[in-house]
Structure 1
Amino acid sequence: MYNILKLNKIAAIGTDRLGANYNCVDECDAPEGILVRSAAMHDMELPESLLAVARAGAGVNNIPLDKCAEKGICVFNTPGANANAVKELVLCGMLLASRKVAQGIAWNKTLADDAGCLKTVEKGKSQFVGPEIMGKTLGVVGMGAIGILVANAALALGMKVIGYDPFLSEAGKAKLEGGVIIVDTLEDIYADSDYITLHLPLNDGTRGMINNETIGKMKDGVRILNFARDGLVKSEDIIAALGSGKMAAYVTDFATQDLLTVDGVVAIPHLGASTPESEDNCAVMAADEIKDYLENGNIKNSVNFPNIAKDKTADKRVTVFGKGIEDAVKAIAADAAVATRGDYTYAIIDGADAEAFKAIDGVIRVREL
C-alpha cells in the first residue's frame, strides 16, 4: 500500500486512477508520494519515506527541487495539461488590454442610481475606446506548450505573430502554423511588438526581465501580458511606464498588492488553469506519472531526475539514483538502462540484486521493485 499525501485538492478523476493499492489522504506523516498544486513546500520537512512529488501543473517554483534531488525524491510536473485553459485566458487578456472592457463594466456599475444611464453611457463611452487586435503584432516570449497555442490562435485572429525561444525544439517548431515567425533575439520582440505575452519559467535568468531598460526598447503604447510568473516583471517599472504612457496596459494573472489600483493594470486572480477541464487533465497526468514511478521506476516529465522508461524483463527490478555513478552501475550491470541529468544518474536494472548497488560511492537511493 502506497500512502499519497494531497497538499491541495486534486480532482478525483486523477486519484481514482491510482487504484486500490493507494491511500490518498490529506494528512500523513510518512507518505511515499505527494500530489500538489500551489501549496508551498520549501519550508516543509521532507520525510525519509518520500519517493516522489507530482505537481498538477507546469510551474514548480513552490517545490524545493535541489533539496528533493539531494534526498533522492523525484519531482514531476504536467506540461501541456493546462495549456488550452491558459491560452484562452491570454486571448481574453489581449482583448481586455485593448478595449478597456473591465474598466467600462466597473464604470457602468457606478451608474446604478442614474435614471438616464443610457444617455450617460453614450456620452461617456469614449473614455474606453481601444484598438482592435487584428493586424497588430504579437510577440510571444517562450514557445512551450502554451506559447505555441497562443501563437497559432493569434495568427488565426489576423495578428502578425513573432516568437522567441532559444530552446525551441524541432518538435515544437513543427506544431507552429506557417505564418509564425521565430526571431533570434528578445530585442526583436521588444522593437516590433504591439503586444508582448510572457510564457517562460522564473529563474535567475528571467527574474525581473521586464524592467525600465527592456521597456525602453519597446514600442510606445506597448501592451504586456503576464500569465507566467509575477517575478518576471519589476512592478515599480511597470507602474512608471504606465504613468508615462510608454506602456498602454499591463494584464497579469498575478494580483500583487502594489498593482491592484494602478490605472492601466488588469489584475486577474490567477485563473489561468482554473477550468474543470484543466484540473482534470493535470490530475490525470500527475497520477499516472507518480504511479508509473512508484510501481515501475519509469520517469516521464521529471524536472529534477533524468527521464527514462524501460519495459520489465524480469519479476524483480532495481532502480539506482546518485551522483557520478554511471560507470560503477554499468560495471555491475552492463545491460542497465541509464540516463543522466546534470550531475545525477538514474538507472533501471531488471533481475539484479539491490545490495550490489548500495555500496557504490555517490549513491543516494536504491529501490527494489
Structure 2
Amino acid sequence: MRAFMATLLLGATLALPSLAQNAAQPQEFRVVNRSGLPATALHAVRSPRGGAGDWGPNLLRPDRPLPDGGGFRVTPSADAGCRFDLRLVAQDGREAVLRDQDICVNRNLDLQRLAAAAPPPAPRMAGPASPQVPRAEPNRRAQRVSTGSGFLIAEGRVMTNQHVIDGCNRIILNTPSGHWLAAAPPARADAALDLAILNVPGLVGPALPFREAPALRRGEGVVAYGFPLAGLLSSEPKLTRGEVNGLRGLRDNPNQFQISAEVQPGNSGGPLLDMQGHVVGVVVSKLNAQRLAQSTGDIAQNINFAVQGRTALEFARRAGITPLLAESRGRDLSTADVGDVAHRSTLFIRCER
C-alpha cells in the first residue's frame, strides 16, 4: 500500500537532514498501522516527551485517516537523535503506544496493541478543595433568614448582589457538590451597582467566563440560573430561558439591562448566560407589578433586570480579581447544555441575621 509522507520538525530551528547524512544520524523511518482499524491520529516525538504526555502535533491530515495496514513515513530533522515515542489513535478512540524506540536500528515500526479508551472525566463541580476545608451548617435558631444565588468567578470568590448579603451576621453557601462553606469577611460590595464579591476560603471549581465580545444585542437568547423561592419550591436550582429586551435598566440605568427570562426572589445574584455559556449579566430584580399598578393602573408582565456583564467584570477587576474571558462567536449550545455549564459553578447563598 502506498505510504504517506511526512516531515517531523523537532524544535523551531532544526534543519532537515542532508542527503549526505551518515548512518549515525536519524533517517527516514516507517510507521505501520496494525491496529485493525483506520487511525485518525499519529504522533512521533523524541523520548521521553511521550512519557510526559507531550505528543506534539498530529502528523495525519484530518481528511486522510491511515487505513489498517497502511504505512506512514516520517523524516526526522538531522539532530533529532534516535530515540522516539510513538502514538497511534484509532477511529474508536483507543490508542497504541510505543516508547523509546531506536529508529536508527529499526526503521519499520508496527503499532498494533490498542488500549481501552480512557473514560471522559466527570465534570468538575464547585466545592471544597479538600476534606480538610472547614464545613459549615445552617443555624436553625437564626432569627431571620434570607436566600439568594451566586456564582464562582475565581478560586474562593463568589459574585452576587449586594442586597443578598446586606445586613447578614453570617453567610454560608451550599456548593454544587453538596457542601456548606462559610464566607469570610470582609466582602467587597457596591450598593449603587448592587454587586458583591464573597470570600469563601477553600472553594475551588470551574469559574464562569465573562463574555468579552461581541457586544450584547437586543433579541439575544439568555439563560438565568439560580435558586428562586427557596423553602417554597424544591431546593434544586432552576433555569429560565428568555431574551434581552432592552440594553438599559429601570429609568435608563446604564449598568443594567432588561430581560424576559422570568426571575423570582432568590434568583438575585445568579448568573445570566448567553447561549454559549458565557456570563453576560448578574440577575438583580423584577419590576414590582403591584406597585406599578397602583401608580399607573396597568399590570406589568415579566419585566426583569440584570446588572450588565461589563459592569460586573469591571467591579471584579477593581476588587483585584482577574476573571476568565471568552468570545461568543462559536456555535450556540442548547438551553439544557447552558444549564449544565451554569450548574457546575452556581451556589445557593443563605444569609442569617
With normalisation by structure 1, the TM-score equals: 0.23
Relative to its length, the structure with more strand (as a share) is 2
Q: What is the TM-score when the length of structure 2 is the normalising length?
A: 0.24
Question: Greater CA radius of gyration, 1 or 2?
Answer: 2
